[in-house]
Structure 1
Amino acid sequence: MQNKIILVIMDGAGYEACVTQCGYLEGAVELGQAQRWKMITATPTLSGPMYETIHTGLWPHEHGITSNEGMRASERPNVFSLAREADKTTAAVAHAYYHRLYVDRPWDGLRSVEHHDPETDIQHARFYSMEGYGAMNAVAPAEIDLCAQVTLLAEHHAPDYLLLHSCSADTLGHSFGGDSKEYRYQIWMIDNALSRAIPIWRAMGYDVMVTADHGMNAEQHHGGMEKIMREVPFYYFGEAKGPNPGKSLSQLGLAATILDRLGVTPDAAMRPGFL
């Protein structure tokens, strides 16, 4: 079966924070409109390595991106490249790191924010840089604006695979800590925007998956082995049935899961999917 997929990555949003703050997502689970599992990430629990792990199904030590400072273009088969090779259309609303990974050209801060090229792995995109973010100014796009850009890309280009990547929870976590009111409130802000967007995306025919790349500890940090860093949620709005809700999922199975739902054969090196 071939489906269209929107994947939402709430950067830095840990499992417990989402379960306690995401009233819309948790309400959908309670009503049977969505399924939710705990997902265990790979390590090191850093953003760049996890973006590539999510899209290649490989541990960072296998795909070779093991730090944010070591970011480069992806060298392994990934969701974007395999979907494009299968004549699917890809799109993203995401941080500039995704441009570095899946758009094979230099980043131009004044031109690369809007991207349309059928020859690149991400074919249609709205990128943002968050240049200079910190406690003084998060410089994060509003969550509803990100959802709006996803909706417009879906309406204008009908991508088969569409990524929404929000950095705001990670930013507030680094500024105030993963046990702060600012961090928890921002996770709720993401949930609040999704409450208006997901029904529209579902009506447009998309399966919707919502997860995180990693969590955040109280010391404003991630990258290690703490449970609060490695445990993230995985919500699924769609018709497929996954494992028992009490079973923890591996982040490494997400790439194959997305491709299976798209009707695209995963790469042989990818871990098996779970839907």
Structure 2
Amino acid sequence: MQNNKVVLIVIDALRFDTACTHMGFLHHLVERQVAARYKVCSEVPSLSRPLYETILTGTPPIVHGVTSNMTVRLSKGQSIFHIAKEHGLTTAASAYYWVSELYNRAPFNHMEDRLQLDTHLPIDNGMFYFEDHYPDSHVFADAAWLMAQKQPDFLYIHPMNVDDDGHKFTADSAQYRNRVLAMDALLSLFIPKCMALGYEVIVTADHGMTRDGDHGGTTHEDRHVPLFVISDAVKAGIKEGIISQLQVAPLCCHLLNIKPAEDMVPLLLEGVFTAKEV
């Protein structure tokens, strides 16, 4: 089995229930047996920077040590970026600047680090934004440029507007729900492009958003997020039960056909085929 190409899309603060009611395109893919849908319970604290590290290293905050949004340093773990590079694969990211601070350079220099192209760092090619209201449409346009010009094997995409509107207006608002609708519309343009180029696609979130317009706690609103997988290596359809967020990193490694890091948990997702079965 050859290495596959994978796009991992982490939609900041996308609640599971809102994804189920407001993401028509993704659920079209589920209904047509193109995508699988899982319910994920995030690690705690349900904060952004700790959970970026959890998603990309497959380890909980007590292990990776990024326990707060104020923990500004490079990752000390083996992220998917690191492992992909060790296997000779290329990496890219269109993401919030905290991702650069975790894997390329910390602290982020706003005047120098926005574009990081042809580096020999864990993220070979990065386009990083630093305003929470930076348009999601631009994040995906940046990602499309990276796909066309750099052809990465692993591409990480991280839009922020759902989180931004959640903080401004709360999760129980028309603005938050309409932003999720807008995200689904962007995905309806971007995901077919990925599929046409032979990418496996994963869509998930770091954490949810509460009716108070925040996150960080232990409620379902804080922690329950979706996981959509578009891959011939994963059986399509809606999966019952709740899975751990620690499954995302080994799933990425499985789809990339690379050996996961020793600190990652075994991949135990329902419906995942072995390399031989694929």
Q: TM-score range by the shorter chain?
A: over 0.9
Call closer, same or farther: CA 1:176–1:233 in 2, change over 3 Å: same
Residues 91 and 125, structure 1, Cα contact 8 Å, conserved in 2: yes
Aligned to 1:207: 200
Separation in structure 1 between the aligned mates of residue 166 and residue 256 of structure 2, nearest angstrom: 33
Separation in structure 1 between the aligned mates of residue 127 and residue 138 of structure 2, nearest angstrom: 11
Residues 74 and 106, structure 2, Cα contact 8 Å, conserved in 1: no
| 1:260 equivalent in alignment to 2:261 | no
Separation in structure 1 between the aligned mates of residue 266 and residue 163 of structure 2, nearest angstrom: 28
Call closer, same or farther: CA 1:188–1:230 in 2, change over 3 Å: same
Aligned to 1:136: none
Separation in structure 2 between the aligned mates of residue 104 and residue 221 of structure 1, nearest angstrom: 28
Residue 153 of structure 1 aligns to which amino acid in structure 2? L
- Please state how far the C-alpha of 1:118 moved relative to its aligned partner: 3.6
Residues 257 and 272, structure 1, Cα contact 8 Å, conserved in 2: no
| 1:155 equivalent in alignment to 2:148 | yes
Moved more, 230-239 or 265-274: 265-274
Residues 72 and 107, structure 2, Cα contact 8 Å, conserved in 1: no
Aligned to 2:42: 41
- Please state how far the C-alpha of 1:89 moved relative to its aligned partner: 0.2
| 1:85 equivalent in alignment to 2:79 | no
Where do 5+ consecutive residues of structure 2 fail to align?
A: 273-278
Moved more, 168-177 or 148-157: 148-157
Call closer, same or farther: CA 1:111–1:104 in 2, change over 3 Å: closer
Aligned to 2:113: 112
Q: 4+ residue runs of structure 1 moved beyond 3 angstroms? A: none
Residues 212 and 233, structure 1, Cα contact 8 Å, conserved in 2: yes
Separation in structure 2 between the aligned mates of residue 159 and residue 105 of structure 1, nearest angstrom: 23
Where do 5+ consecutive residues of structure 1 fail to align?
A: 134-138
Call closer, same or farther: CA 1:32–1:156 in 2, change over 3 Å: same
* SS class of match (1:261): helix
| 1:251 equivalent in alignment to 2:251 | no
Moved more, 264-273 or 11-20: 264-273
Identity %: 34
Q: Calculate the aligned-residue CA RMSD, in Å.
A: 1.4
Residue 158 of structure 2 aligns to which amino acid in structure 1? H
Aligned to 2:10: 9
| 1:230 equivalent in alignment to 2:230 | no
Query: What does 1:185-224 align with in structure 2 at a 5 Å threshold?
Result: 185-224=178-217
Aligned to 2:275: none
Structure-1-length-normalised TM-score: 0.94
Separation in structure 2 between the aligned mates of residue 188 and residue 41 of structure 1, nearest angstrom: 22
Separation in structure 1 between the aligned mates of residue 149 and residue 95 of structure 2, nearest angstrom: 17
Structure-2-length-normalised TM-score: 0.93
Separation in structure 1 between the aligned mates of residue 266 and residue 118 of structure 2, nearest angstrom: 30
Give aligned pairs, total: 267
Per-residue deviation, residues 2-36 of structure 1 (Å, max 9, x unmatched): 21000111100100011111111111111112111
Aligned to 1:27: 28
Separation in structure 2 between the aligned mates of residue 23 and residue 105 of structure 1, nearest angstrom: 38
Aligned to 1:60: 61
* SS class of match (1:248): strand
- Please state how far the C-alpha of 1:242 moved relative to its aligned partner: 5.1
- Please state how far the C-alpha of 1:59 moved relative to its aligned partner: 0.6
* SS class of match (1:153): helix
Separation in structure 2 between the aligned mates of residue 179 and residue 271 of structure 1, nearest angstrom: 35
Residues 73 and 107, structure 2, Cα contact 8 Å, conserved in 1: no
Aligned to 2:276: none
Per-residue deviation, residues 56-107 of structure 1 (Å, max 9, x unmatched): 1111011000110113110011100111111110000000000100103542
| 1:125 equivalent in alignment to 2:119 | no
- Please state how far the C-alpha of 1:241 moved relative to its aligned partner: 2.3
* SS class of match (2:240): coil
Moved more, 66-75 or 108-117: 108-117
